[in-house]
Each structure stands twice: as C-alpha cells, then as structure tokens.
C-alpha cells in the first residue's frame, strides 16, 4: 500500500489562496501550500509520521510556532523537522500571506536513508532553524522542489536528492558516517526471530529484515553478524533447515510439502542444503532417526 500522510489538523482563520499541489514518490509525499493567515489565526497539527517543513520566499514574521501548549513560541522559523507524534501549534499576530513546502516522510524509509549517519534517537527531536545564511541556501533547494511540484518536468530522483540535502542540513548530519561499534539490540533480535517464524512459508530476504530494524541492508548485515556470529543469509537458511528437521520428526508430511512450508524453493533445494549441512540426504536422515525411536 502506498504511503499516505495521516495529519490531524485544527485551524482557524487560515485559508488557502492557491490550489494545493502534491507530488509523491516512494516513502515521501510532498505538498506546496499558499496560505493567507488573518490576525489571531492559529492551528494545531499532529501526525504519526515525521515531516520536514520549509517556508518559501519571504518568511511570515508574525507567525510563531511551539511544541507544547505552554511552551515558548519561536518566530522567524525558516525550516523545521517535526518527529512522529510531536504536536505543533501555530499562531499569527498579524495578517500575512506565505507559502511552505511540506515533506511527509514514511518512518522506515527515512531510517534507511539516514542509517549510519545519525543516532536513531535524533529522529525523535524537533529541530527549528531560524532565518540565516545557511538556511537560505536550503530555501533555494526547497524552491526548486516546489517549482517541480507545481510544474513537473523532472523525475522524482531529482526531488529525492534535494530532500536528502535538506535533511542533512536540518539534522546536522556529519561529514563522515558514524563508526559502527555495536550489534543489534535484544529487542531487534527478538523481532527478527518472531518475523521469520511467522513468515516461514515464504522466503524472507535480508532487505526485509533490515527494513524491520530501520537500517540499511549493509549496516544491518554487519550488526547482525556482530550479534549472532553468522551472516543473515546463513542464519535464515539455518532457521528454515532446523524447522524442516523438526517437521520431518514430528509429522508424516512428505519432503516436498515440508520444503514448501519452510521457505525452500522445492524438494531439491531442501535436499541440497540438507546434504551440505548434515552430510546425507534428508530422506536417509529421516529413516535413521525413525529407526532410533
């Protein structure tokens, strides 16, 4: 199912003055808003998805933003990152017309995009950048994205590259990737085991497990090997094989049926893997074990 934003909004005395323009690509929905806010206008915004907001052109000087009902309002915000589940309030002290570009981001792909570049906890922090020289450069990139949304002529690849540049700025990403020093957490390992067990009748890919942990495939593979002592692919094969062995001993199902139930391509595939691991074909192993019982 394609990603869709799930924003909850409550606004007063704002009105759109141009049609909303939207463009989507995997993991991202970007929209351009042209708004007029009256004096005393305000709004409340909440989404289970993270988002990046960049104001276009002249900043609305009478607009202030805050992240709690009693929090200190921040004015002259040019660019902000709002994490998933973070409430946001806006207020207008005077009447102004302004525009902004919003990127609604799917959490999993965002974590993959930033894997190895930022601690995962950083994505739970709100960031607001005021009008400054470095932010003006990002506003120029945002203007390019907005122009492309309003008058499409280039592939989403270009928009995604510009989004990455803006995320690097607002999240203050380092010049070099973080050094990988740790493996997966016990919670991640448990989630992997549960997922593989539930999905066993089909072939689970390493990319699927990396996505489950919110990591790039290469970083996940290193972390997994550090935690378990074996590669994800070898571990997956071993899980399928061990389950197949249990079924051979506890059921009278045929090898072809067992192969299908444990994620092997066919009986021949199961036989090759079994022989490589145990030194004999599964049918012979099954008879020998049955004779011992």
The string of pLDDT tens digits covering residues 122-176 is: 788 899 998 766 687 899 999 999 999 999 999 999 999 999 999 999 988 876 6
- Fold of the 8-170 domain: Jelly Rolls (2.60.120)
Mean pLDDT taken over the chain = 89
51-56/28-46 β-pairing: unpaired
DSSP state of 154: S
- Fold of the 186-292 domain: Arc Repressor Mutant, subunit A (1.10.10)
| Element at 96 (helix H, strand E) | strand 96-105
CB 226 within 8 A of CB 183: yes
pTM of the model: 0.64
CB 238 within 8 A of CB 231: no
Q: What's the whole-number mean pLDDT along residues 2-22?
A: 95
Task: Provide the pLDDT for residue 151.
Answer: 96
HEC string for 184-247: CCHHHHHHHHHHHHHCCCCCCCHHHHHHHHCCCHHHHHHHHHHHHCCCHHHHHHHHHHHHHHHH
Task: Provide the pLDDT for residue 272.
Answer: 93
Place of tokens 């020998």: 288
CB 197 within 8 A of CB 205: no
Task: Report which of 4, 19, 290, 22 is spatially closest to residue 146, judged by C-alpha positions.
Answer: 22
β-bridge partners, 80: 53, 128
Query: Using one digit for the tens of pLDDT, what is the confidence trace for 212-268?
Result: 888 888 888 888 888 887 899 999 998 899 899 989 989 999 999 999 999 898 999
Domains 8-170 and 186-292 share a fold: no
The domain spans of the chain are 8-170, 186-292
Please determine, for residue 105, whether its predicted confidence score (pLDDT) is greater than 90.
yes
**Per-residue confidence at 200, pLDDT binned at 50, 70, 90?**
confident
DSSP state of 82: E
**Per-residue confidence at 30, pLDDT binned at 50, 70, 90?**
very high
């Amino acid at each position: 199912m394609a990603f869709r934003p799930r924003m909850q909004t409550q606004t007063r005395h704002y009105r759109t003055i141009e049609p909303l323009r939207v463009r989507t690509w995997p993991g991202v929905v970007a929209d351009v808003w042209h708004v007029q806010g009256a004096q005393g206008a305000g709004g409340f915004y909440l989404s289970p998805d993270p988002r990046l907001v960049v104001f276009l052109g002249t900043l609305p000087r009478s607009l202030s933003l805050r992240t709690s009902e009693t929090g200190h309002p921040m004015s002259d915000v040019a660019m902000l990152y709002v994490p998933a589940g973070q409430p946001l309030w806006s207020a207008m002290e005077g009447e102004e017309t302004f525009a902004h570009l919003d990127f609604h981001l799917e959490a999993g792909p965002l974590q993959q995009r930033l894997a190895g570049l930022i601690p995962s906890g950083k994505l739970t922090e709100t960031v607001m950048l005021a009008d400054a020289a470095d932010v003006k450069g990002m506003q120029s990139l945002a203007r390019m994205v907005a122009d492309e949304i309003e008058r499409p002529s280039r592939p989403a690849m270009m928009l995604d590259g510009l989004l990455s540049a803006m995320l690097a700025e607002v999240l203050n990403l380092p010049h070099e990737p973080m050094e990988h020093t740790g493996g997966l957490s016990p919670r991640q390992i448990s989630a992997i085991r549960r997922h593989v067990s539930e999905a066993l009748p089909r072939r689970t890919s390493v990319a699927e497990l990396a996505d489950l942990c919110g990591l790039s495939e290469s970083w996940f593979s290193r972390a997994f090997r550090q935690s378990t002592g074996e590669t994800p692919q070898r571990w997956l094969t071993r899980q399928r094989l061990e389950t197949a062995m249990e079924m051979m001993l506890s059921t009278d199902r045929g090898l072809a049926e067992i192969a299908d139930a444990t994620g092997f391509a066919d009986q021949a595939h199961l036989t090759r893997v079994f022989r490589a691991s145990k030194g004999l074909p599964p049918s012979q192993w099954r008879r020998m074990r049955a004779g011992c019982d």
